[in-house]
Amino acid sequence: MSLININLKWCKACGICIDLCPKQVLWENEKGYPEVQDETKCTKCKLCELRCPDFAIEIKEEINV
C-alpha cells in the first residue's frame, strides 16, 4: 500500500506540493502533475497534504499490528 496518495482528478498541477517537499519526494511528470519519486524519503511532515489547495494529496500513517 502506498503511503502517498495523489488524486489526479482533483489536482490542478499547481506544483505547491513539489515546491514544499523538504526531501524532494515528489517530482513533476511530463504533464505537469506530481508523482512520487522516492516514497522511502518521505518523513510524513504532511506539508504537501496541508498546503494542497485542492485536497488532492493524502499521507497515510503506517499502522503496525
Residue 18 maps to which CATH number? 3.30.70.20
Residue 65, in any domain of the structure: no
d(CA 35, CA 18) in angstroms, rounded, equals 9
The residue type of 61 is E
d(CA 56, CA 40) in angstroms, rounded, equals 20
Domain hosting 30: range is: 4-58
Residue 64, in any domain of the structure: no
Give per-residue pLDDT as tens, 10-64. Answer: 999 999 999 999 999 999 999 999 999 999 999 999 999 999 999 999 999 776 6
Residue 28, in any domain of the structure: yes
Residue 27, in any domain of the structure: yes
What distance, in Å, lies between the first and last C-alpha atoms of the chain? 15
What's the pLDDT at 57?
Answer: 97
Please tell me the pTM assigned to this model.
0.84
Q: In 1-65, at which residue ranges do the beta strands (DSSP E only) sit?
A: 4-6, 26-28, 34-36, 57-59
Count the Cβ atoms, other than its own, within 10 Å of residue 54. Answer: 14
What's the pLDDT at 6?
Answer: 97
pLDDT of 65 strictly over 70: no
Domain count, the chain: 1
